[in-house]
């Protein structure tokens, strides 16, 4: 997916600030009022469903092949009682210059004020008189006993969280758990009565062009509904586990955390962000898919945190020229570039393996593999099929826990080398063997072997592939190289095999990457 500029990508939340001493002109949050869009009969049906522990849904299922619904009114009336408004309160500091509030490092409030052009942002000067800020968002009830789903950025940093239900009733909420990686938060309220709730649908069944309904609290105006279609699937914004549905249903600030329904009244997405040059809806909104959210919610409910699977490899996509260099018939799978200490190494996985299947499902690319591994429970044993020169092999890997593994980092190598030895130009690069002096200068591990890139011909394929001076070439043709003669031998072998490209393993600042270079270039 084409990368989206952070300048135009906004979270769909709204913010109002009330000064602690009641300075005139501060925006006030509207008092809770019961909604009148749902008939008393529908409200009664919703309460009866809650008492019977049944989710709300459309009274009549969507008709297959129907071009568009006659009206969304029946669907809105049916599911609206499960949608809530969320108000969070936090104490922030005011700058001594009096121009605007200062927020804690990483607070979501700071970005919102900056987007609206609030004077004095970002906060300059020291802290002064404290202020109370109210952030507004949306959410939805997923169980009769009071579990509520919203976005993490809606409640992040909050001191108090208040839930306003469709009936106008308000209850305090506590945080059960959060997952910043998917921007999901799970809240809990205590209610004497069973609460109307909705259920998750299968977001994989959503098709581009399907009708959807977004409900929430845009700009703090209270309950609101907007309709549209699924504009695109599998959108990725900035996160490792991103899987968004794109919709043209109007989503504005305050809609964050609200549900995106299909015509059956099932939640297939959680409204999270919009792409906009002005902060308002232009018909490009993003909802995290229900399949991702429901998996996270289940872990938060059970453990209070996420417990994702961890394979323990570094990977990259298989490109067409890499597939040709390896003699593969398809450009699918995930190429393993490095196998540090971890579950994959314990199971016998090696650098250069191509993961083609995980837990019985084909692997299309690195993104699909990362998501599948993350969805697998930590500690579970899974079969991983890798493609090697001798054919496919099945490895049984007992997954670790990603959250534990992320506490360790890789050592970075030192600065680029200024290699003093003469070298030869091969594949558009001037290369020299690694010496003890180079190892010391670059801060590399003592046992490092390979060739250091001194120069790259600007007109070469190597330059087009992004290779730079200081890169270290450690493998060619999936075999180690320690000298120029080793590399030339690999080139000759590739030519004899009738291949147009040679796969080389490059390391830069400790990070490995496979690159396919044409063997005809000298």
Q: Which residues are catalytic?
A: 153, 183, 256
Residue 358 vs residues 397, 403, 416, 501: alpha-carbon distances, Å: 10, 20, 37, 28
Torsion sign over Cα 108, 112, 115, 117: negative
DSSP for 174-212, written as a single string: EEEEEETTTTEEEEE---SSPPP-B-B--GGG--TT-EE
Q: Are strands 501-508 and 511-518 parallel, antiparallel or unpaired?
A: antiparallel
Question: How many angstroms separate the CA atoms of 433 and 421, rounded?
Answer: 8
Contact 27, 254 (CB under 8 A): no
Question: How many angstroms separate the CA atoms of 423 and 433, rounded?
Answer: 8
Residue 423 vs residues 202, 429, 440, 455: alpha-carbon distances, Å: 58, 10, 19, 10
Cis before 242 (ω within 30): no
Residues in a beta bridge with 186:
149, 177
Question: How many angstroms separate the CA atoms of 503 and 519, rounded?
Answer: 10
3-state secondary structure of 292: helix
- Going by the annotation, the residues of the binding site for substrate are 153, 183, 254-256
CA proximity to 109, closest of 218, 8, 16, 9:
16
- The separation between CA 88 and the C-alpha centre of its own chain, rounded to angstroms, equals 24
Distant-in-sequence, close-in-space partners of 281: CB < 8 Å, separation ≥ 6:
250, 251, 252, 274
Where do we find the tokens 């669907």? 75
Residues in a beta bridge with 477:
none
Distant-in-sequence, close-in-space partners of 452: CB < 8 Å, separation ≥ 6:
417, 419, 431, 432, 433, 434, 438, 442, 470, 471, 472, 473
Question: How many angstroms separate the CA atoms of 23 and 19, rounded?
Answer: 6
Contact 240, 185 (CB under 8 A): no
Contact 357, 385 (CB under 8 A): yes
Contact 220, 254 (CB under 8 A): yes
Q: Where do runs of H (alpha helix) occur along 15-81?
A: 40-51, 73-79
């Amino acid at each position: 997916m084409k990368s989206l500029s952070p300048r135009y990508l906004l979270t769909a939340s709204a913010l109002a600030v009330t000064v602690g001493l009641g300075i005139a002109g501060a925006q006030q949050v509207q008092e809770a009022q019961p909604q009148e869009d749902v008939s008393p009969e529908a409200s009664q049906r919703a309460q009866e469903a809650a008492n019977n522990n049944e989710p709300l849904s459309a009274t009549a299922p969507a008709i297959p092949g129907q071009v568009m619904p006659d009206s969304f009114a029946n669907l809105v009336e049916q599911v609206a009682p499960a949608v809530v408004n969320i108000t969070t309160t936090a104490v922030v500091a005011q700058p001594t210059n009096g121009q605007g509030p200062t927020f804690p490092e990483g607070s979501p409030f700071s970005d919102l004020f900056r987007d609206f052009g609030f004077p004095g942002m970002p906060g300059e000067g020291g802290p002064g008189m404290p202020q109370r800020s109210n952030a507004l968002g949306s959410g939805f009830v997923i169980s009769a006993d009071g579990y509520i789903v919203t976005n993490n950025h809606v409640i992040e940093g909050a001191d108090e969280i208040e839930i306003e239900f469709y009936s106008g009733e308000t209850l305090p909420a506590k945080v059960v758990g959060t997952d910043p990686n998917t921007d999901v938060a799970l809240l809990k309220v205590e209610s004497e009565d069973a609460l109307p709730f909705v259920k998750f649908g299968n977001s994989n069944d959503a098709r581009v062009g399907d009708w959807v309904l977004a409900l929430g609290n845009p700009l703090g105006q209270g309950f609101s509904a907007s309709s549209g279609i699924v504009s695109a699937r599998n959108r990725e914004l900035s996160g490792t586990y991103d899987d968004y549905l794109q919709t043209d249903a109007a989503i504005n600030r305050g809609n964050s955390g609200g549900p995106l329904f299909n015509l059956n009244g099932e939640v297939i997405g959680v409204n999270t962000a919009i792409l906009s040059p002005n902060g308002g809806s232009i018909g490009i909104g993003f909802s995290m898919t229900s399949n991702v959210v429901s998996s996270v919610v289940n872990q938060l409910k059970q453990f209070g945190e996420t417990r994702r699977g961890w394979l323990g490899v570094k990977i990259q996509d298989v490109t067409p020229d890499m597939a040709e260099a390896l003699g593969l018939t398809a450009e699918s799978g995930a190429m393993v570039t490095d196998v540090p200490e971890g579950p994959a190494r314990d199971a016998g996985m090696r650098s250069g393996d191509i993961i083609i299947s995980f837990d019985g499902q084909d692997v299309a690319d690195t993104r699909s593999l990362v998501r599948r591994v993350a969805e697998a429970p930590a500690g579970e044993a899974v079969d991983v099929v890798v493609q090697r020169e001798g054919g496919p092999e099945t490895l049984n890997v007992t997954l670790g826990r990603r959250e534990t593994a992320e506490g360790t980092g890789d050592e970075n190598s030192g600065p680029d080398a200024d290699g003093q030895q003469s070298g030869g130009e091969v594949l558009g690069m001037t290369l020299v063997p690694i010496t003890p002096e180079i190892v010391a200068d670059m801060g590399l591990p003592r046992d490092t072997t390979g060739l250091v890139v001194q120069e790259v011909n600007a007109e070469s394929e190597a330059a087009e592939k992004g290779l730079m001076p200081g890169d270290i070439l450690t493998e060619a043709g999936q075999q180690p190289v320690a000298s120029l003669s080793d590399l030339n031998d690999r080139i000759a072998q590739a030519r004899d095999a009738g291949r147009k490209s040679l796969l080389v393993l490059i390391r830069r600042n400790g990070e490995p990457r496979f690159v396919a270079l044409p063997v005809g270039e000298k």
